Amino acid sequence: MSISDRLRTTFETSTVLAARQIVGQLLVRIDEDGCRRSGRIVETEAYTQSDPSSHSYRGPGERNAQMFGTPGTAYVYLIYGVHHCLNITTAPAGTGEAVLIRALEPLDGLHAMMQARSVTDIEALCNGPGKLCQALGIDRTFNGTDLLDSKSPLRIEPERYHPPQRIDSTLRIGLSIPQREHLRFVDGKSRFLSRKRVPESAVTQVDRRR
């Protein structure tokens, strides 16, 4: 079984585990002119169908149909009519679950990303779900893209995995509903997170790698 196949199996098996294992993976966007833009995933959030904050909570519809699709594919939606957000579908097809990509550590194509974002601060380039989509040129045209296909213009390259020394979990960001579970996963050493300062009491170290 290839690395991509193993990762797809994880996507199908557990949304929470997938959210953890995506941290450290490389997200790549290949432009039409061949320009490569990429970033290391440093922050994710898990959304299951039983979660009232999930788009899938009330079942499938026109907007969230892709969330019920094949695991390992892109679910891209527009928030506030302005910002695109990239998710990776999880759970078996027919179950609406996904992992939101919240932040990247920019790697390839910095000039192109800075032009797309009109910023020069590398730490602010991809430190939010809308920002990273703008930096990589991700919009609704990528909805349904197979992110584990090595030929996709938007893809994860698991063979270039950069494992973090530590993965921390916290409550998710920006939700108005009460939360009990820590479903936000971050590279505990990264300076590229969407929210850097989190009270130590709110952090759980879920995975330490030496």
pLDDT in tens, 12-42: 999 999 999 999 999 999 999 999 999 999 9
pLDDT in tens, 40-70: 999 999 999 988 778 877 878 888 899 999 9
Give the amino acid at 189: K
Ranges of each domain in the chain: 3-208
**What is the spatial distance between Cα 101 and Cα 147, in angstroms, rounded to a whole number?**
13
Structure tokens at 111: 């000039």
**What is the spatial distance between Cα 112 and Cα 109, in angstroms, rounded to a whole number?**
5
pLDDT in tens, 97-142: 999 999 999 999 999 999 999 999 999 999 999 999 999 999 999 9
pLDDT in tens, 64-98: 899 999 999 999 999 877 899 999 999 999 999 99
Tally of CB atoms within 10 A around 29: 24
Closest CA to 64 of 72, 56, 52: 56
The more confident residue out of 20 and 207 is 20
**What is the spatial distance between Cα 13 and Cα 68, in angstroms, rounded to a whole number?**
14
β-sheet bridge partners, residue 38: 28
* CATH architecture of residue range(s) 3-208: Roll (3.10)
